[in-house]
Amino acid sequence: MKTIIAANWKMHKTRSEAAQTAASVATFLGKNPMQCSVLIFAPFTALGDVAEQTAPNLAFGAQNMYPADHGAYTGEISPDMILDCGCQWVLTGHSERRRIFREDDAFIGKKTAFALRNGLSVMLCIGETLEERRAGQLRAVLSRQLLGGFADPLLNDVQPDRLAVAYEPVWAIGTGVSAKPEDAMEAHGIIREELISRFGSKGQDLPILYGGSVKPENSEELLKLDNVNGLLVGGASLEAESFIRIIRIGSEYAS
Ligand code: PGA
């Protein structure tokens, strides 16, 4: 399975800033063939600009979408609009969407299926809060979010290269404190089991990324772990230089 190194830029960067960072990454990938896939989830306004930057193993995505073709959904954008910008991916279920925008598992499942049905590839984000972890609910939360996100029977036939899961413990996002290797490994192991019980043998081939305070300094210890097939990077992906350092490490862990 190819390691995926993904950037989530959240609500950062103007169009020209985004194009500049994407161009630096594309130039690097053009000159230095890497063994991993690189994905950048950019803000809506910059999707068209970043997608103009092409390089081997580089693709782009949006951080959100609405599950309808078009219509009276003020403030939302459809999968077709994302594809029209030259982007292939979308994130669903990010903890910031769950918490700030009150998205629940049923809605996230609907978005995931709609995006796939309309030609996008999807990275579903899941992860527990500190309270849930302390209450011993790790498996229950991950299983609920995973089965909710992948509830639609349409997913039974989906190609593994169009789907990925990102494990992002809420307490590790933006805090500077990533999960300890043993905690990440436990969660990724649970997710692998749940994926196999949902998808059968195909569940073995779906990439599981770790996210939450990933930096160049901790990338290697995370990528070494069983069932860690990539990284989803927020803060440390905003500067091309630190994101490229993580890409280089990711390339060494491609299988
Ligand atoms: P972080 O964000 O790397 O800044 O912790 C990760 C994410 O929310 O995807």
Which residue has the least CA distance to atom 6 on ligand 1? 234
How many CB atoms lie under 10 A from the CB of residue 238?
17
58-62 vs 37-42, strand pairing mode: parallel
pLDDT of residue 255: 59
In the three-class reduction of DSSP (H, G, I as helix; E, B as strand; rest coil), residue 157 is classed as helix
How far is the centre of ligand 1, averaged over its atoms, from the C-alpha of 212 (Å)? 5
CB 126 within 8 A of CB 165: yes
pLDDT of residue 1: 87
Give Cβ neighbours of residue 211 (< 8 Å, ≥ 6 apart).
8, 125, 127, 166, 167, 168, 172, 173, 231, 232, 233, 234
How many CB atoms lie under 10 A from the CB of residue 136?
8
168 as an active site residue: the answer is yes
- The C-alpha atoms of residue 211 and residue 208 are separated, in whole angstroms, by 10
Q: What angle do CA 85, 39, 11 make, to 5 degrees?
A: 70
pLDDT tens for residues 192-223? Answer: 999 999 999 999 999 999 999 999 999 999 99
| 10-residue mean pLDDT series, the chain (255 residues) | 96 98 98 97 98 97 98 98 98 98 98 97 98 97 97 90 96 94 97 96 96 98 97 98 98 82
For the CA of 215, the closest atom of ligand 1 is: 3
pLDDT of residue 127: 98
Which residue has the least CA distance to atom 1 on ligand 1? 234
pLDDT of residue 160: 85
pLDDT of residue 251: 97
- The C-alpha atoms of residue 220 and residue 216 are separated, in whole angstroms, by 8
Q: Which value, in Å, is the radius of gyration of the alpha carbons in the chain?
A: 17
- The C-alpha atoms of residue 159 and residue 138 are separated, in whole angstroms, by 28
Q: Looking at 96, 103, 128, 168, which residue is catalytic? A: 168
Residue 121 Cα distances to 71, 91, 113, 161, angstroms: 22, 9, 10, 8
Does residue 81 come out as left (phi exceeding 0), alpha (psi in the -120 to 50 range) or beta? Answer: alpha
Does the predicted model carry a pTM greater than 0.85? yes
pLDDT of residue 132: 97
In the three-class reduction of DSSP (H, G, I as helix; E, B as strand; rest coil), residue 81 is classed as helix
Give Cβ neighbours of residue 101 (< 8 Å, ≥ 6 apart).
none
Give Cβ neighbours of residue 136 (< 8 Å, ≥ 6 apart).
none
